[in-house]
Amino acid sequence: MPQDLMNGQSNNAGKSISLNLDALGDAVNDQPSFASNDEKPFLKEEVEAEIIGTDFRLMSQLSSNQSDPSKKYFNTVFAIETRFTCTIVNENGETETKEFVSRDNYSGLRYFPKFDENGNVMRMADGTPVLDRFWNGDTSAFGRLLAIVQSYDSTVRSYADFFAFFNRPGLKCKILTEEVNYQGQKKAKQFIQSFI
């Protein structure tokens, strides 16, 4: 849970925060996955949903910045699980109201680790990389979500604030289906449009 990751104060409002990734344990090496399109109805209009869980994952392989290959980072994925009810047309052509749970990934937050004098990633005693700084692109899924959170709650000024925001019990939002390309395949994603 993000609440376990927060480790004190941010510096550089909205752009940098120290996180304690000890809370991830072995999960730091897990690969995130998209739920299949079969599990997700295509929402053409916004639907009210409740956030029932979040998860933060750090990918285990270093990536290189395209404009400067010497700048290495770990990709991260912030996953949000929502529960919502909507009316669908079933296989018999009849309408029915059904409850769904959707797990959707918000990528685009880059984790830049600290490097030692030999160019190796510095690690804590448990092997977790030491964080130097975060960066997110404004047009990434994570960047878009951060902007939506900040427009709803102007006190969210750092990544610590962002993760704390999602720890509110009973947090409600409006979602809408967006199609995204993931590894050459189109996937349905229930993207948060606003908070209520």
pLDDT at 15: 35
pLDDT digits over 20-43, tens only? 555 555 555 555 444 444 468 999
**More reliable by pLDDT, 79 or 181:** 79
Long-range contacts of 28-37 (CB under 8 A, 24+ apart): 28/57, 28/58, 28/60, 28/128, 29/60, 30/57, 31/59, 32/57, 32/77, 32/79, 32/105, 32/107, 34/104, 34/105, 34/182, 34/187, 34/189, 35/102, 35/103, 35/104, 37/186, 37/187, 37/188
Q: What percent of the chain has pLDDT over 70?
A: 80
pLDDT at 29: 52
Is pTM beyond 0.75? Reply is yes
Per-domain residue ranges for the chain?
2-195
